Amino acid sequence: MIELMAEGISLRFDPRIGQIVDFTVTDGGQSISPLHKAPWVDSEEEFPDGVPPHLKTLGGDFFCAPFGQETEDMPLHGWPANSEWLIDFQTMNRLCARLKKSVNGAKLTKEIELRDGHPFVYQRHTFTGLTLDVPFSNHANVSLPNGGIISTSRKREWRTPYWPVEIDPIRGRSGLSYPGQSFDPRNFPALKGTADLTHYPWFPCHEDFVVGIEAYDHELGWTAVTRPVEGDLFLSLRATKAMPMTMLWHSNGGRDYAPWSGRHFGCLGVEEGWAPHILGRDFGVNAPFSGSQGSIFSVCHVIGAVSWPSQEAVDTISLSNSKLAVKGELGALNTVALSTERLMKEVDAGA
């Protein structure tokens, strides 16, 4: 396990599967650790055959490519979330690593950086030698044992895939309509009436997956998850050109088979990326990279946490002069330092 730290923030990274196991921010006198860990992690229990490595250690934050796909030769979410990363460079607050395996023939590198006084984990993943478009996502798992309020940057629409997460009622259950569509996440079609996707949980025991497609006219995409009981806020930030989809995985006791066994509650997957195959078509979210032979594509992503004692939903998030201003629906405000170069700069050029 590798530890990185800077003033006010620290994290642990597991290079065996490329997972940020956890991170902790000190803000407003609080110690905030918002990432989830499944109840079977670090236990001595045995797993059924075929359980992928990322599921055995489920939690934290990891990068998926190809996201949402598996084959006979590759586990779900691809090798970046399930195999070894080699460390090329490491300091107290930064590391660079490369995936030992390839992704659709491309090399993949990872950079993680912490900065003094910044409540954020800065990440950059770079593909070199892409020959095919590859769906990808940064997969953060937020711990919501006491519920939460979900706010996002403006979306064109929200949709579910054609099929529910759990089809067989013997294995589990989903609560939304599949396929379903709404322009208002507070009023999404469900098996019984509608569901308010801005609150978690909205159903007693369910496993659901819903996709928000980003609006056209802004560059900064964000997801903010208020944890009212804890008095803090989880943040996910990205450039919308590179990551035009917000995918929310609601895992709240909806799977009954091992290792889930009806005990996996209070986890919200905040998965930002590009994966139109999940919906069966692109819906105007074309690949953010050219896919030409020898191309280089880098995607930046930021996760973090701040104190939020007001417990309210986030209304707006804005960026100005290397400061991020988070405003609540009832007027709460928290302004923190943010590196714009580590968020908005993307690379898409021929090698």
pLDDT tens for 57-78 read: 999 999 999 999 988 889 999 9
pLDDT surpasses 90 at 350:
no
Q: How many CA atoms lie within 13 A of 90 on its CB side?
A: 14
The pLDDT assigned to 131 comes to 75
Q: What is the pLDDT of residues 234-277, one digit of tens each?
A: 999 999 989 999 999 999 999 999 999 999 999 999 999 999 99
Q: What is the pLDDT of residues 94-105, one digit of tens each?
A: 999 999 999 988
Architecture of domain 2-350: Distorted Sandwich (2.70)
CA distances to 95, 102, 114, 119, 120 from 91, in Å: 6, 25, 10, 18, 17
SS3 for 251-285 is EEECECCCCCCCCCCCEEEEEEEECHHHCCCCCCC
Confidence of residue 217 (pLDDT cuts 50, 70, 90): confident
- Tell me which of 146 and 321 has the higher pLDDT: 146
Q: Are 137 and 247 in contact (CB under 8 A)?
A: yes
- Tell me which of 346 and 329 has the higher pLDDT: 329
Please give the helix or strand (H or E) that residue 302 lies within, else none: strand 295-307
Confidence of residue 200 (pLDDT cuts 50, 70, 90): very high
Question: Could you tell me how far CA 143 lies from the centroid of its own chain?
Answer: 12
Q: What is the pLDDT of residues 307-345, one digit of tens each?
A: 999 999 999 999 988 899 999 999 999 999 999 887 865
Phi/psi of residue 223, nearest 5 degrees: -130, 130
The pLDDT assigned to 349 comes to 34
Q: Mean pLDDT over residues 283-306, rounded?
A: 80
Average pLDDT of every residue of the chain? 93
Sequence spans of domains, the chain: 2-350
* For the chain, percent of residues with pLDDT exceeding 90: 82
Phi/psi of residue 92, nearest 5 degrees: -65, -35
The pLDDT assigned to 335 comes to 96
Q: Mean pLDDT over residues 219-223, rounded?
A: 95
The pLDDT assigned to 291 comes to 52
pLDDT surpasses 60 at 128:
yes
The pLDDT assigned to 100 comes to 97
Q: What is the pLDDT of residues 15-62, one digit of tens each?
A: 999 999 999 999 989 999 999 999 999 998 999 999 999 999 999 999
The pLDDT assigned to 176 comes to 97
Cis peptide before 201 (omega within 30 of 0): yes
Confidence of residue 287 (pLDDT cuts 50, 70, 90): confident
pLDDT surpasses 90 at 346:
no
Q: Are 110 and 187 in contact (CB under 8 A)?
A: no
Distance CA 189, CA 191 (A): 7
